[in-house]
Amino acid sequence: MRGRQYIYHFDVMKGIAIILVVMGHVMLFSFDINPSEPSKFIYFNMPLFFYISGYLAYKNFYTLHELGKRILQRGIVLLFPYLIFLCLYEIFSKGTDWNLSIIYCGGQRYWFLYDLFIISTFFLVYEYLIKRVRSNFAYVTLWILPYFFLIAAKTGAAKIGGADSQAVIAGFVNYYRYFLIGYICKKYVRFNDLLFDNKLIGAFAFFAYILNWYFFEFHNIALIFLGTLGGIIVVQSFVKNYIPAEGAVGKLLIYIGKCSLGIYVIHYFFIPDISGVIGNFLDCGNPFIWQLTFAMIIAVPIVAASIFVYKLMEMNKWLYFIFFGKKIDK
């Protein structure tokens, strides 16, 4: 029962996260505001996806054959849409004025799939190698060590590989920790309960989240991490306590959450450039309220259109497999 309950929670959270992602992209690409006031408020949206992915990536035991199979499956499901939609969007937006070097990092748009594949593949291999470690302390320590190697690699990349290489590794540095937290939450139930069922931790998480939002301009690494983790804790706790699966809101968010991959790769094609039309208007009065309201108004039809296209593609099993790497049994 517990496992089914958590699957429901994560579908709802994926639904919330993808709506916030679309809203953030509307503010970034439609309004041409970076960072917008609301984007500081919803900064946890992409880390939330990595946290969920880390939680779902955990498996108690698997053989070398299963390891290879899981990596292949992850590659197909993540890299098929990454490569196809990245190239399609570049052609759609730039015609012939682009080059294949963007595949290295995914640019501003499809980087999430690239980062998630690298991080999840590393986790699968690393977990297989250290699975015989019996001490919980040593086990967790071994998982934390790669984070410091990534920080060192980020510094080295800035000197050797330039800005693009630094940006790629910076993404790994940032999102590895949230993937790891999700993984540890699944493996250690007590740690999961401490984060999400402890009222004192919940209050601290909410405080850190608000504090990070208020002082976001200072770019304090520790505060951003604690505030982002706080946002994840607040969202999951809210979903568990206030959004039942049987309710209308729960059902809608579950449906959207199950379409989150399709929405993510398709929604970029529907984002309009209207910065010249309402740019000045969004700075009037309270920018936070105006930007958040208009982002939500524009994001809703974009999400709906993305789901419509995704479901159309899903109707043809061969088209769906080519674009999303998944088979549909009919």
* Residue 279 identity (one-letter amino acid): G
Going by C-beta distance under 8 Å and a sequence separation of 6 or more, which residues neighbour residue 195? 185, 201, 205, 233
Q: Is residue 329 part of a domain?
A: no
Give the least confident one: 77-81, 106-110, 241-245: 106-110
Q: What value does the mean pLDDT of the chain take?
A: 83
pLDDT of residue 150: 64
| Residue 284 within a domain | yes
Total domains present in the chain: 1
Q: Is residue 330 part of a domain?
A: no
Is 290 inside a domain boundary?
yes
Q: Please choose, from the candidates 324, 317, 316, the residue with its C-alpha nearest in 3D space to the C-alpha of residue 259.
A: 324
Q: Which domain holds residue 298?
A: 2-324
Does residue 172 lie in a domain region?
A: yes
**Which tokens is 246 given?**
């049987």
Asked if residue 188 belongs to a domain, the reply is yes
**Tokens at residue 125, please?**
């291999």
CA 214 to chain CA centroid, Å, is 23
What is the rounded CA–CA span in Å between residue 116 and residue 74? 9
Distance CA 145, CA 118 (A): 17
pTM of the entire structure?
Answer: 0.87
State residue 205's pLDDT score.
Answer: 94
Q: Which residue has the higher pLDDT, 183 or 287?
A: 183
Q: Which residues contact 178 (CB under 8 A, 6 or more apart)?
A: 47, 48, 50, 51, 54, 228, 229, 232
- For residue 62, is it within any domain? yes
- The answer to whether residues 158 and 166 touch, using CB atoms and an 8 Å cutoff, is yes
Looking at residues 238-258, what average pLDDT do you find? Answer: 92
In whole angstroms, give the CA distance from residue 16 to residue 33. Answer: 22
